[in-house]
Amino acid sequence: MKHSELTFQAIVEATPNAIILVNKEGKIAYANHQTEKLFGFSKIELISQTVEILIPSRYHKHHPHLRNHFFTEPETRAMGSGRELFAMRKDKSEFPVEVGLNPLTTIDGTMVLISIIDITARKKAEERFKLVVESAPNAMILANKDGEITLINAQTEKLFGYHRNELIGNQLEILIPKQFGENHPHLRESYFHSPSVRSMGAGRELFALRKDGTQFPVEIGLNPIETDQETVVLASIIDITERKKHEVLIALESKNKELEQFNYIASHDLQEPLRTVSNYIQILEEDFSDKLDPEAKNHLQTISRATVRMSMLVRTLLEFSRLGKNNKLVSVDCNEVVKNVVSDLNSLIKTSGTVLIIEHLPVIQAYETEFMQLFLNLINNAIKFRKKDTQPEIKIGCSLNSKGHHEFYVSDNGKGIEEHHFDRIFQIFQRLNTDQEAEGYGIGLANCKKIVEMHGGKIWVESAPGIGSTFRFTVETI
């Protein structure tokens, strides 16, 4: 035996992997000791046998074709790229493998040196990893540096509304709102340049995108994982919608406490001097009536009206601060709410000749008394600010918006509002109309705004002078 052949044999025998040498006909020309150990065959049993002896029978039909194709264009490469490969021992037991192919030119023609690695332990580790990810209480996503999703768990399907087959192989940007998605590839590239365990987007509010197009606030934890092939990142995603709601409620509660303190002062320290002024006006009118000329009496009446109005403002402000206090969310049929409000306003509706068009409304979780007051204010305003010589018409309805929240509307054909007043009308004590026909205290729409915010929503107006107004508000109940 030539020296080079002895050297080759010594190297192959020293290799920790199973090594076999196969000719163009698929027959085994050589096998090292690790092959005997791994497959349970002796070298004598393997030599001159076709390589299919080491392959499960279900692959026998197609393997000769694949083997012939390799010899047509021989090159060093991994076998079965993208597919799971299995080998078979002498006892017919199967196990997962990685196979490397290396063409060799010999005096007997081109042969292939095959390196076989038993990856059973690795597969078990991968399965354990997948099991841990699958059982995690949060949405978990595994992605490579190109942003391709390679693994998700059931919580991800539940949170985003996708089936896993729709996400595996897709880009991460499918789960990111468009306004943030354009910059995400750059941020991803920056992360993989210096991967570390950390939170994503520190100091920024993060949002994710469901299959139905709705967005929601999230917290994301990033964990780099080193594999044999590359570095990947495991992202843990937590929906913090409820936490955000709680933060809003805490902030609102804090504002309410401040307002309560102010109203305590207003209801006691302001009402007392107002009562004193009213008492002295009464004394002047009763005891000095014969000494007061008509002009003085007129002045006293003006002071009296202003005092009464100021007292009403203080009481109204106190009621504003008490909205939602000590109330609980209950199941509310909005159809019944509007029906009761219409009943309360029946006299005004008949007098004004108002036509009401009411669509079917949902049942929601809400503060019932406040929600009734919300509709009462909006319908009352629609009638109050009607156009002269025009029959008032009010439409009430609701639909689901892009975020899956209920969006109500109260629309009228009244006087309308100029655009530069849209924000002002929701501020307390702001009145656009001061004529006696539409007298009020400028707090009705401020009440509406506060009630809507108590339900996690927002209120706005769409209007044009002379055409009418549509008040819209959303409700995001727990």
In this prediction, residues 381-397 reach a mean pLDDT of: 91
CB 234 within 8 A of CB 225: yes
pLDDT band at 436 (very low <50, low <70, confident <90, very high): very low
CB 468 within 8 A of CB 413: yes
309 vs 14, higher pLDDT: 14
Domain boundaries, the chain: 3-118, 123-239, 241-322, 327-478
Amino acid at 258: E
* Residue 432: predicted pLDDT: 56
pLDDT band at 179 (very low <50, low <70, confident <90, very high): confident
In this prediction, residues 90-94 reach a mean pLDDT of: 95
User: Is the confidence at residue 326, as pLDDT, over 60?
Assistant: no
In the block, residue with structure tokens 């009244």:
414
User: Is the confidence at residue 434, as pLDDT, over 70?
Assistant: no
User: Is the confidence at residue 95, as pLDDT, over 90?
Assistant: yes
CATH number of 3-118: 3.30.450.20
Separation CA 151–CA 165 (nearest Å) = 10
Lowest pLDDT segment from 159-163, 234-238, 316-320, 429-433: 429-433
In this prediction, residues 379-403 reach a mean pLDDT of: 90
pLDDT band at 437 (very low <50, low <70, confident <90, very high): very low
Lowest pLDDT segment from 156-160, 245-249, 467-471: 245-249
Q: Which CATH superfamily is domain 327-478 in?
A: Histidine kinase-like ATPase, C-terminal domain (3.30.565.10)
**Domains 3-118 and 327-478 fall in the same CATH topology:** no
Separation CA 437–CA 432 (nearest Å) = 13
User: Is the confidence at residue 240, as pLDDT, over 70?
Assistant: yes
Q: pLDDT (tens digit, 9 = 90+) per residue, 253-283?
A: 777 777 677 766 766 677 778 888 888 888 8
CB 375 within 8 A of CB 398: no
Establish how many alpha carbons lie within 13 A of residue 351's alpha carbon, considering only the half-sphere containing its beta carbon: 8
Lookup: tokens for 267: 């209801």
User: Is the confidence at residue 328, as pLDDT, over 60?
Assistant: yes
* Residue 327: predicted pLDDT: 66
3-state SS, one letter per residue, for the chain: CCHHHHHHHHHHHHCCCEEEEECCCCEEEEECHHHHHHHCCCHHHHCCCEHHHHCCHHHCCCHHHHHHHHHHCCCCEECCCCCCEEEECCCCCEEEEEEEEEEEEECCEEEEEEEEEECHHHHHHHHHHHHHHHHCCCEEEEECCCCEEEEECHHHHHHHCCCHHHHCCCEHHHHCCHHHHCCHHHHHHHHHHCCCCEECCCCCCEEEECCCCCEEEEEEEEEEEECCCCEEEEEEEEECHHHHHHHHHHHHHHHHHHHHHHHHHHHHHHHHHHHHHHHHHHHHHHHCHHHCCHHHHHHHHHHHHHHHHHHHHHHHHHHHHCCCCCCCCEEEEHHHHHHHHHHHCHHHHHHHCCEEEECCCCEEEECHHHHHHHHHHHHHHHHHCCCCCCCCEEEEEEEECCCCCEEEEEEECCCCCCHHHCCHHHCCCCCCCCCHHHCCCCCHHHHHHHHHHHCCCCEEEEEECCCEEEEEEEECCC
User: Is the confidence at residue 438, as pLDDT, over 50?
Assistant: no
Lookup: tokens for 471: 């008040």
Q: pLDDT (tens digit, 9 = 90+) per residue, 286-302?
A: 888 888 888 888 888 88
Residues with Cβ within 8 Å of 260's Cβ and at least 6 positions away in sequence, in order, are: 321, 322
- Of 120-124, 311-315, 399-403, 468-472, give the range with the top mean pLDDT: 468-472
Q: pLDDT (tens digit, 9 = 90+) per residue, 447-456?
A: 899 889 888 8
* Residue 393: predicted pLDDT: 95
Indicate the average pLDDT of the chain. Answer: 85
* Residue 233: predicted pLDDT: 92
How would you classify residue 48: left for phi > 0, otherwise alpha for psi between -120 and 50, otherwise beta?
left
Fold of 123-239: Beta-Lactamase (3.30.450)
User: Is the confidence at residue 360, as pLDDT, over 70?
Assistant: yes
Please indicate, yes or no, whether the overall pTM of this predicted structure exceeds 0.95.
no
Lowest pLDDT segment from 104-113, 147-156, 161-170, 407-416: 104-113
User: Is the confidence at residue 2, as pLDDT, over 50?
Assistant: yes
In this prediction, residues 162-173 reach a mean pLDDT of: 92
What are the angstrom distances between the C-alpha of 74 and each of 24, 258, 265, 336, 401?
A: 11, 81, 92, 79, 60
